Amino acid sequence: MKTTFSALFLAAGIIAIPGPSGAASLMDWGRHVAKAGNGKPGGTACMECHRLDGGGMPSIGAPRISGQPRQYIAREIREVKEGKRYGPVMAGVVQNLSPRDIRAVALYYSRAKSPKLPDVGPSDPALVAEGKHIATRGFWKKNIPACVQCHGPNGYGVPPLFPYIAGQNRTYLLRQLMAYAFLKRQDDPEGLMRGIARRLTMAQRKAVAEYFSSLKPPVRDVP
């Protein structure tokens, strides 16, 4: 009787893991990269900052990526890798990801589901109210449009181009506004976010971050 490689693996107690050249699905490989990295030197599991379910880590400002559009996740990984998006921590992590790794992990996290994690400390009602005004009505005296014009009603995003920002932690949101304003994050079409972030005052940036972090993230059934 012919012995198969699978039988030998089972007999030896070895469990094969999905890999880029194997028959495992893209989804399986994405989960593996998220959980354990891609096996290359220096590879880091995505879950170390974003958690396996994509809920992020408010305590360190790691964003929630659960349910974000897969095209958006893949684009942001590529642009961090190319230096277009400011991300000093992510830059080292994504360098050894292949195009397939990126597609796989983006697919996995786009379908992951996570509850909203509590932010660091309670919301400030005054900041929430000010942030809501800017987010929903804009601040036209400084040529600042309402955030929801691009990020959708309640900050739920407009897939696949604009991510949801409702329910993101305030540290992450404020950090991105600062990156657009001062740290040369350059992945916004036509420099739109850079212009807005620069025209906002520091207090207004904090207010917008406070407002969107106080909301519940969207729940999507992604096919």
Domain ranges within the chain, ordered by starting residue: 20-111, 125-214
Beta strand ranges found along 29-156 (DSSP E): none
Which residue is associated with the tokens 């961090």? Answer: 80
Segment 202-213, tens digit of pLDDT: 999 999 999 999
Q: Decide: 187 and 79 in contact? Cβ < 8 Å.
A: yes
What pLDDT, on the 0 to 100 scale, is given for residue 189?
82
Which pTM was predicted? 0.86
What pLDDT, on the 0 to 100 scale, is given for residue 24?
54
Q: Check whether 181 has a pLDDT greater than 60.
A: yes
Segment 55-104, tens digit of pLDDT: 999 999 999 999 999 999 999 999 999 988 888 889 989 999 999 999 99
Q: Check whether 32 has a pLDDT greater than 80.
A: yes
Q: What's the fold here for domain 20-111?
A: Cytochrome Bc1 Complex; Chain D, domain 2 (1.10.760)
Q: What's the fold here for domain 125-214?
A: Cytochrome Bc1 Complex; Chain D, domain 2 (1.10.760)
What pLDDT, on the 0 to 100 scale, is given for residue 57?
97
Which residue is associated with the tokens 């739109």? Answer: 192
What single-letter amino acid sits at 52? L
Greater pLDDT, 84 or 28 = 28
Q: Do domains 20-111 and 125-214 have the same CATH topology?
A: yes
